[in-house]
């Protein structure tokens, strides 16, 4: 049976999750899972056959990170397929305490930064203590630094752009970064980052298998075969408008080498979090 690790999953406390559903509805997204609670969503994840998954929270305002991380820790302990990543906001009252509690005491596997929500550019100095904390502990940062799926008229767009990662990676050589959504809209730049920095990874969330995106299959195959150790399968479940299994089907249709496919499906994700301290 094929092993699958989903490196990009979003679940939140129910009250916050319901607010997120309302935000997406106002934005015009038609999400099949909209309105559901985290327990029922976890049941759907089990049905997809994933072995493990990265649970990626994100704080939309200061001083909610600690409570959000506590919920993530407890939810993951009760739902052992999930591996917790921590949320942090650069304006948290005691950001260092948030990081120490999650990364050291809680043993979280890494950090998640959603720059479109934070309204921060990747190279804003306010984020540098976060990168430094992750690097010192050899823990990955999943960072939404690219422009997809936003359009130029959205207010979030101005905080995005993969070019902002160059000074970050120069300042923190060896930092492990995961860029979601294949770096869509800037895939050439994403490939340049992969080529220049061994700690950079891409995940396939939202982009691979999206029915409205016309991604060239041969280009994807070439990218995946060129960097077989640096691509992670991810779905972005449940914040997607399409079938959560569509990405898996699209991955299989690429007809990759079996070893490359296995690396993308689970081995790269497992390697990324080895020795990060998470013990359910």
Share of the chain above pLDDT 90, in %: 86
57-92 residue pLDDT tens: 999 999 999 999 999 999 999 999 999 999 999 999
Confidence (pLDDT) at 75: 97
Cα three-residue angle 10-14-19, rounded to 5 degrees: 80
**Helix and strand counts by DSSP (H, E) for the chain:** 12, 8
How many domains would you assign to the chain?
1
The sign of the CA dihedral 31, 35, 38, 42 is: negative
Let me know if residue 31 belongs to a domain: yes
pLDDT at 27: 85
Does some domain include residue 177? yes
142 has which bridge partners? 112, 178
Q: Is residue 189 part of a domain?
A: yes
52 domain-assigned: yes
Answer yes or no: are the C-beta atoms of 157 and 147 closer than 8 Å.
yes
Tokens of 54: 């990265």
Domain membership of residue 279 (yes or no) is no
In CATH, what number is assigned to the domain containing residue 96? 3.20.20.140
Residue 137 backbone dihedrals phi, psi, to 5 degrees: -100, 0
Residue 135 lies in a domain: yes
What confidence tens digit (pLDDT) does each residue in 145-196 have? 988 777 766 666 667 899 999 999 999 999 999 999 999 989 999 999 999 9
Helix (H, G, I), strand (E, B) or coil at 215: coil
Whether residue 216 is contained in a domain is answered as yes
Beta-ladder partners of 202? 179, 231
Q: What is the pLDDT of residue 276?
A: 72
Tell me whether residue 278 is in a domain: no
Contacts of 94 (CB under 8 A, 6+ apart): none
pLDDT at 160: 86
Closest CA to 188 of 207, 217, 163: 163
What range defines the domain where residue 135 resides?
A: 5-273
pTM over 0.85, yes/no:
yes
């Amino acid at each position: 049976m094929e092993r699958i690790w989903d490196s990009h999953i979003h679940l939140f406390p129910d009250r916050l999750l319901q607010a997120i559903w309302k935000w997406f509805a106002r934005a015009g997204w038609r999400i099949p899972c909209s309105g559901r609670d985290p327990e029922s969503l976890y049941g759907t994840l089990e049905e997809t056959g994933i072995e493990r998954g990265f649970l990626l929270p994100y704080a939309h305002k200061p001083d909610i990170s600690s409570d959000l991380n506590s919920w993530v820790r407890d939810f993951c302990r009760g739902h052992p397929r999930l591996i917790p990543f921590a949320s942090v906001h650069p304006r948290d009252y005691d950001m260092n305490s948030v990081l120490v509690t999650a990364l050291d005491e809680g043993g979280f596997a890494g950090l998640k930064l959603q720059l479109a929500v934070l309204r921060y550019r990747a190279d804003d100095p306010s984020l540098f203590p976060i990168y430094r904390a992750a690097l010192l502990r050899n823990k990955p940062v999943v960072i939404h630094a690219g422009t997809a799926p936003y359009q130029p008229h959205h207010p979030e767009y101005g905080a995005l752009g993969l070019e902002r990662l160059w000074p970050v990676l120069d300042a923190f050589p060896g930092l492990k970064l995961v860029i979601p959504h294949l770096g869509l809209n800037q895939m050439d730049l994403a490939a340049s980052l992969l080529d220049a920095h061994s700690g950079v990874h891409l995940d396939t969330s939202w982009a691979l298998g999206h029915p409205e995106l016309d991604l060239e299959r041969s280009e994807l195959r070439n990218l995946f075969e060129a960097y077989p150790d640096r691509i992670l399968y991810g779905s972005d479940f449940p914040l997607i408008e399409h079938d959560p299994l569509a990405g898996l089907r699209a991955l299989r249709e690429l007809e990759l080498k079996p070893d490359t496919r296995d690396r993308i499906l689970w081995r790269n994700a497992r390697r990324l979090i080895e020795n990060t301290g998470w013990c359910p």
